[in-house]
Amino acid sequence: GDIAAGKRVFDNNCATCHLGGDNAVVSSQTLKQEALEQYLFNYGTEHNVEAIVYQVANGRGAMPAFQGQLSNKDIVNVAAYVKDQSESGWP
Ligand code: HEM
């Protein structure tokens, strides 16, 4: 995925709830590595990016599904950005 393109997708579609990698709705379920490992199904395996892609495409709980709202390319790119930021510690 293209991380720079993914940042633009994130700023336009995700930052309302996930500014700085936090979660404004369910505060424990952040986009930080420890939370992803704890809460995101299939994370912490070799499927990290795919797990984020799945969450974004399908949504879960109070998070809306983005399949049909975003292109598959945008979803892959935003997942790459989230994974990169989770590893580098968010801003
Ligand atoms: C959870 C990514 C947009 C609300 C998550 C998780 C990821 C993620 C990776 C799992 C985090 C974890 O379990 O620790 C994204 C991305 C978005 C986006 C990349 C944009 C494309 C939004 C928006 C909202 C939102 C706009 C609010 C309207 C939530 C909530 C959860 C969550 C409530 C917890 C869901 C649950 O109950 O399991 N998000 N998100 N997200 N997100 Fe988002």
Kindly report, residue by residue over 41-82, the tens digit of the pLDDT: 888 777 899 999 999 999 999 999 999 999 999 999 999 999
Residue 3 structure tokens = 């991380």
- Rounded CA separation 30/83 (Å): 12
Would you state the pLDDT for residue 43?
Answer: 80
Q: Report the separation in Å between the CA atom of 40 and the middle of ligand 1, taken as the mean of its atom positions.
A: 10
Does any ligand 1 atom lie closer than 6 A to the CB of residue 33? no
Cα dihedral value 20, 26, 29, 32, nearest 10: 10
Maximum Cα–Cα distance across the chain:
30
Which residue's entry shows tokens 């809460």?
39
Report the complex ipTM.
0.98
Q: Which of 17, 43, 58, 82 to mutate to test the pocket of ligand 1 (most atoms within 8 A of CB)?
A: 17
Would you state the pLDDT for residue 45?
Answer: 79
Kindly report, residue by residue over 2-48, the tens digit of the pLDDT: 999 999 999 999 999 999 999 999 999 999 999 999 999 888 777 89
